[in-house]
Amino acid sequence: MGGRVAVALGAGGARGYAHIGVLQVLEERGYEVVAVAGTSMGALVGGLAAAGRLDAYTEWVTGLTQYDVWRLLDINPLGGGGAIRAERIFTRVGEILDGALIEDCAVPFTAVATDLNHRREVWFQRGPMATAIRASVAIPSLVTPIVVDGRLLVDGGLMNPVPIEPTAAVMSDLTIAVSLQAGHSTGMPVAPVRTPGALVGSVRSLTERVGALIGGSHDHARAPEQLVGGGVDDGVARDVEPVTEGGGSPAVPSAPGYTAAPKELASAEIFNRSFDTMAALITRYRMASNPPDVLVSVPSDACRTMDFHRAGDMITLGRELTVRALDEAGY
């Protein structure tokens, strides 16, 4: 079909390789990309594309093994705001960019970062492409932040996970946004989940006991389960008697209604999932006021944030999802 298209590429770690597949399909279908805006991995892929260097980058990353990736990540044991310096990666990206300036690119480009000190977005639309990308991909606590013109800059996904707004200044036939924060591939509920489990019942039981101890009536108090919005099975709450093992001291019973998180779930993975959850909510609200013509949604469980050895898989997925999204939208 063809036409002039503005592209907004979102944040999401290694899932951002899907952006490469998106851009490949657009080129194959004859679309002219007239504006690119990106956050985090979207800034990396989009910046390389705007500078005409994406093919060289793609050739490099599709050949990386998991061992290569861990070596390139450059773990940072000395602090400095992030667990990973990743300077080896940024050095290689800088070599591929070869000093490219944003204002010299044939395609208008914007990289979005977050200024932590002033709590605002920063749009890079001029200056060294490598600096703009480096600022945008600094995932808080994972990748070390940088200081540019006195601003402490981190990942733009904190405030604008899918930056559609910077593309509005360029005339185009349609806008395509690529979100890496879609619900799980098996489906994810949007509405809050109400869980009336045993813990709420135990809280109610505790409230009743406290009320009895202080001699007051709990009949007129608002029940705890009303605060969480769930009905509670009256048979759930139980008094737990001390359990002794081998005649020793009473063992501490396990807390009712929940279990500990799996031990194999690393702190980094908890942070990544938390970041994805926050980004998905921000994206939903921002797109409500500025919707794209076509939305390509990459499931958040397509790969883990740091699975940078899976470039081939994510590029293929990006291609498939783009073809489907364009066909469904009639483009």
**What CA–CA distance (Å, rounded) separates 111 from 131?**
10
Are the C-beta atoms of 21 and 318 separated by less than 8 Å? yes
Are the C-beta atoms of 280 and 162 separated by less than 8 Å? no
**What CA–CA distance (Å, rounded) separates 162 from 137?**
13
Residues taking part in catalysis: 40, 155
Are the C-beta atoms of 247 and 267 separated by less than 8 Å? no
Cα dihedral sign, 312-55-61-110: negative
Question: Residue 308 is encoded by which pair of tokens?
Answer: 């940078």
Question: Residue 271 is encoded by which pair of tokens?
Answer: 């942070």
Are the C-beta atoms of 139 and 114 separated by less than 8 Å? no
Cβ-count burial of 155 within 10 angstroms (0-12 exposed, 13-18 middle, 19+ buried)?
buried
Are the C-beta atoms of 116 and 144 separated by less than 8 Å? no
Cα dihedral sign, 81-60-31-105: positive
Query: Cβ atoms within 10 A of the Cβ of 318, count?
Result: 27
